[in-house]
Amino acid sequence: MIDLTSKAALVTGGGRGIGREIALRLAQAGCSVAVSDIDIATAQTTAQELEQLGVKALAVKANVADAVEVEGMFKEVLGAFGTLDILVNNAGITRDGLLVRMKEEDWDLVLQVNLKSAFLCCKEVARSMMKARSGKIINIASVVGLMGNFGQANYSASKAGLIGLTKTVARELAGRSICVNAVAPGFIKTAMTDKLSDTDKEKLSSNIPMQKLGSAADVANAVLFLASPLADYITGQVLTVDGGLVM
Ligand code: NAP
């Protein structure tokens, strides 16, 4: 049984999908959770669900690609909780297209939301975690950051970059007992993959050794483990949650 009752976490992009499930899983372990999202309405709905589990919850509106908003988000969360033990950099977007047709603005936006955001958030949280000499940072990457994917030059580059960032920050903060890891989901049933046609979904599943898409809960369970004391000696790792797609 994982007990996070004295801990406080921030989950970015926690209004829906995988982020919402991560927030719920952490709250079920007793953790206070701040849910940030660019869409405050969804963050508030998730925060209300968390409160019903009997934990402290906070909804924060922030575009994580914006340095000023990120700074404000950490001020608000630290003001409310006094400490931040767990940061989950989950917010992410796709703007798919073949390389030859990809617009520069779609490249820039995906890199900003998926990668620059994690740099900004890691930088903000590092100060308080270094002072506390403990902390867990979990970056939600993707298997496509390890293997590439047709039509996702921007997205796969952002996730590969996130893995590089994870390993470097892990090295820089290890001496202060701060663990920094990435979770790389495979293909997970969420709004992001609902956009795919049934034929594409079937094609995807047939390439997965376990022959099915994963669930947001599968990813959240991996995050809960890495956020817990069970993972105190694990840092700089990429944990794939993908039904065996990458091995
Ligand atoms: P999702 O359902 O689209 O949820 C993403 C959340 O992030 C949404 O609440 C979204 O807000 C929010 N968001 C988007 N841009 C933001 C910004 N600039 N600042 C703050 N919040 C922002 O996606 P998901 O499938 O749960 O994915 C979550 C993470 O897992 C992402 O990093 C994704 O790359 C990764 N992942 C997903 C899969 C998959 O198969 N689904 C696979 C591998 C990795 P809005 O509701 O306003 O858009």
Mean residue pLDDT of the chain comes to: 97
Q: Give, in order, the Cα–Cα distances in Å from 192 to each of 89, 122, 125.
A: 17, 25, 28
Per residue in 62-72, pLDDT (tens digit) is: 999 999 999 99
Structure confidence at residue 121 (pLDDT): 98
Structure confidence at residue 193 (pLDDT): 80
Determine what percent of the chain is predicted with pLDDT higher than 70: 100
Q: Would you kindly state where each structural domain of the chain is located, as residue ranges?
A: 8-240
Q: Which residues are catalytic?
A: 155
Q: Residue 59: CB within 6 Å of ligand 1?
A: no
Per residue in 29-39, pLDDT (tens digit) is: 999 999 999 99
Structure confidence at residue 90 (pLDDT): 98
3 state SS of 62: coil
List all residues 6 or more positions away from 176 whose beta carbon is below 8 Å from its beta carbon.
Answer: 129, 130, 133, 134, 135
Determine what percent of the chain is predicted with pLDDT higher than 90: 93
Per residue in 40-57, pLDDT (tens digit) is: 999 999 999 999 999 999
- Whether 171 shows a pLDDT value over 90: the answer reads yes
Q: Residue 17: CB within 6 Å of ligand 1?
A: yes
Structure confidence at residue 157 (pLDDT): 99
Amino acid 10 reads L
Fold of 8-240: Rossmann fold (3.40.50)
- Structure tokens belonging to residue 202: 């079937």
Per residue in 212-243, pLDDT (tens digit) is: 999 999 999 999 999 999 999 999 999 999 99
Could you give the angle at which helices 153-173 and 117-132 cross, rounded to 10 degrees? 20
Dist. CA 93 → ligand 1 center (Å): 5
Structure confidence at residue 85 (pLDDT): 98
**Which of 90, 119, 215 has most ligand 1 atoms within 8 Å of its beta carbon, as the pocket-test mutant?**
90
- For residues 226, 228, 234 and 240, what is the CA-based torsion angle, rounded to 10 degrees? -20
| Length reported for the chain | 247
For residues 183 and 220, what is the distance between their CA atoms, to the nearest angstrom?
A: 10
Structure confidence at residue 189 (pLDDT): 92
Q: Residue 196: CB within 6 Å of ligand 1?
A: no
Average pLDDT rounded to a whole number, residues 172-182: 98
